[in-house]
Structure 1
Amino acid sequence: MTKSPATQSRGRHARPPSALAVRWNRLIGALRESRRRRLAAAGAVTAAVALVAAAAVLALPGGSGSGPRAAVAAGTAASPSPHEKIETAGDPDEITDAVPYFATKDPDKKVVEHVTDVRRSGAFVRVYTDLGEDDENSKPALDLCKWTTQFLEDGGDDEPRVFVHGKSDDNGSVVLANKQSDKDDCEVPETR
């Protein structure tokens, strides 16, 4: 046990703070509150100035408003890369740029037409299709698994993990093809 006096009151039977300590704490609290209010006001003014400046730039004749429209009308606008992230207000787990990538691999759209959704689920990417339960290890399921693996590797994923799902009457989404390790070839082993 130390013999130094306590710096703060402890317990419910402790001595109340002195009048000087109470005044000092109130002064410090008021200064902090004042500083917080000034920072909030400065932030609001800065945001208002930025909005006015942006509106003024867009209102200028020949500004940035006509450039992209003219390029689209002329047909010279660049198409987005398949791996370019598209900001949407939708589901953050949905991978919207996968289907256009699949379309580059399947120009006849015989496989891509079966895809209903592509989304990330933790470390895995799940490709949902309208294929049936009997399409396990079918060519479309295996192609989608391989294309998704290539899509992820092109995007910088060192260990792509893919599941291709089909519809089942009694079991929800059945796995038609998957890649769970680097040695896996997308085929699902017989489970019957």
Structure 2
Amino acid sequence: MSQSPDGRPRGRHARPPSEFEIRWTRLAAWPRRSWRHRLAAAGTGLAAVAGLASAAVLALPGGGPDPAGSGAAIAVRSAAPPSPQGSAGAVGDPDEVIDAVPYFETRDPGKRVVKHVTNVRRSGSFVRVYTDLREEDENSRPAVDLCEWTTQFLRDAGDDRPRVFVHGESDGNGSVVLANKQSDKDDCEVAETR
């Protein structure tokens, strides 16, 4: 048997190195690498540390950017209805708007309309309200009410250009739009598509 420099047996029956051994060997070769490799590794490390630090700051209460540009906005926000942007729980989906349904319940104490809501999500600049209403409920009173309530919910939270889609279920067409507000002039009713 021959002596190898790293002390591991070589040959046809030798055990291949583990992933850990390969990485450790590469790490041990660090001083032999060029200055470009060192610079790239240092830059990657600094970027990772900066990303973790900014994520930690944003996770703190009040750590995000102040849209009004002053500390006075905090007092105003606490008196206003819950914000649809900052209300996602730490363990929940960041696109889910969890404060919308409680807001709807203040408008609908009997829960005749709210009982149809299955999910409220932010999708880019839009808020989408998913319901169990059917495709035939296009422009129905519950769909239009949900659209109007969501629009007011967003305005109360400081959104000056609210965009809302209320979706229903369909057998083969995905989530159909039952009501929407795509512009300031829109009245939450969808145009006739048939």
Q: Same fold per TM (> 0.5)? A: yes
Residue ranges of structure 2 left out of the alignment (5+ in a row):
1-34, 43-48, 50-78
2:112 is aligned to: 110
The partner residue of 1:127 within 95, 106, 129 is: 129
Q: TM-score, normalised by structure 1?
A: 0.57
- CA-based RMSD of the aligned residues comes to 2.4
User: 1:22-69 deviations in whole A, cap 9, x for unaligned?
Assistant: xxxx9xx9xxx9xxxxxx9xxxxxxxxxxxxxxxxxxxxxxxxxxxxx
Match of 1:83 in 2: 82
For the residue of structure 2 that corresponds to 1:164, the secondary structure is strand
Counterpart-to-counterpart distance in 2, 1:115 and 1:141: 10
Matched, 1:189 2:188: no
Whole-angstrom CA distance in 2 between matches of 1:129 and 1:87: 22
Matched, 1:160 2:166: no
After superposition, give the CA deviation of every residue in 1:131-169 in whole Å (9 maximum; x if it has no partner).
000000000000000000000000000100000000000
Please identify runs of 4+ aligned residues in structure 1 that moved more than 4 A: none
AA at the equivalent of 1:136? E
Normalising by structure 2, report the TM-score. 0.57
Quote how far apart the aligned CAs of 1:87 are. Answer: 3.0
Q: Is the 8 Å Cα contact of residues 82 and 100 (structure 1) preserved in structure 2? A: no
Q: Does the 8 Å CA contact 2:81/2:157 hold for their aligned counterparts?
A: no
Give the number of aligned pairs: 119
Q: CA deviation at 1:90?
A: 1.2
Q: Could you tell me which residue of structure 2 aligns to residue 12 of structure 1?
A: none
- What secondary structure does 2:130 align onto? strand
Secondary structure at the aligned position of 1:107 is classed as coil
Q: Which has the larger radius of gyration?
A: 1
Corresponding residue number in structure 2 for 1:98? 100
For the residues of structure 1 that align with 2:162 and 2:94, how far apart are their CA atoms? 19
Q: Structure 2: how far apart are the matches of 1:155 and 1:131?
A: 27
2:171 to 169, 183, 190: 169
Q: 1:86 to 1:165 in 2, by over 3 A?
A: closer
CA distance in 2, matches of 1:139, 1:103: 16
Superposition deviation, residue 96 in structure 1: 0.2
- Distance (Å, rounded) in 2 between the aligned partners of 1:173 and 1:180: 17
What are the within-5 Å matches in structure 2 for residues 60-79 of structure 1?
none
Identity %: 72
